[in-house]
């Protein structure tokens, strides 16, 4: 008797919506948990080559924390694509200007850099403050502290 590997049907995957509060959380640990939710690694039907993940709404991105001297030393780079068009910005400056981008870049770094990873990344919604426009989807609050205690 041979057992077959379970493969979920793509149209039968039921996606949930989670709200994650980033206030007071460390950036890397937050990004790791969010990336796992986007990939669907917390689900029993996880399949590495399929998008089985859920939607994640991150609120209070402006209150995310980093350790040590990272606020003044961590650099974010962007380029216009032209010669001499490289721009550098510290964590503290970017957090004051566009705090959503910090969380987005951290989560993107923990997703696969493939077509599947880009598809999973589109399910991430990051907002500066505590308000978000996704109340119609009835998102459930994801307890980040409990998830991080389970990892230790």
pLDDT tens-digit profile of 17-33?
Answer: 999 999 999 999 999 99
Q: What is the mean pLDDT of residues 34-45?
A: 95
With 90 as the cut, is the pLDDT of residue 10 above it?
no
With 70 as the cut, is the pLDDT of residue 1 above it?
no
Q: Which of 99, 100, 145 is closest to 125 using CA atoms?
A: 100
Global pTM value? 0.92
pLDDT of residue 152: 53
Q: What is the CATH number of the domain that holds 61?
A: 3.90.1180.10
Residue 60 falls within a domain, yes or no?
yes
Q: Which domain holds residue 43?
A: 16-66+103-147
In the chain, what is the straight-line distance between the N-terminal and C-terminal CA atoms, in Å? 39
CA dihedral 146→147→151→152, nearest 10 degrees, is: -30
pLDDT of residue 149: 85
Count of domains observed in the chain: 1
Residue 126 falls within a domain, yes or no?
yes
Q: What is the mean pLDDT of residues 134-147?
A: 94
Residue 82 falls within a domain, yes or no?
no
């Amino acid at each position: 008797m041979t057992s077959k590997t379970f493969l979920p049907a793509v149209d039968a995957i039921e996606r949930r919506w989670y709200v994650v509060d980033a206030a007071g959380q460390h950036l890397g640990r937050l990004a790791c948990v969010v990336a796992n939710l986007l990939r669907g690694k917390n689900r029993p039907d996880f399949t590495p080559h399929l998008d089985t993940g859920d939607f994640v709404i991150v609120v209070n991105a402006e209150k995310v924390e980093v350790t040590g001297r990272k606020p003044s030393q961590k650099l974010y780079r962007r380029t216009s694509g032209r010669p001499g068009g490289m721009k550098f910005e510290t964590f503290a400056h970017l957090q004051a200007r566009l705090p959503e981008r910090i969380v987005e870049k951290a989560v993107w770094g923990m997703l696969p850099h493939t077509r599947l990873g880009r598809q999973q990344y589109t399910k991430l919604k990051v907002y500066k403050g505590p308000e978000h426009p996704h109340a119609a989807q009835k998102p459930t609050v994801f307890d980040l502290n409990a998830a991080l205690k389970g990892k230790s």
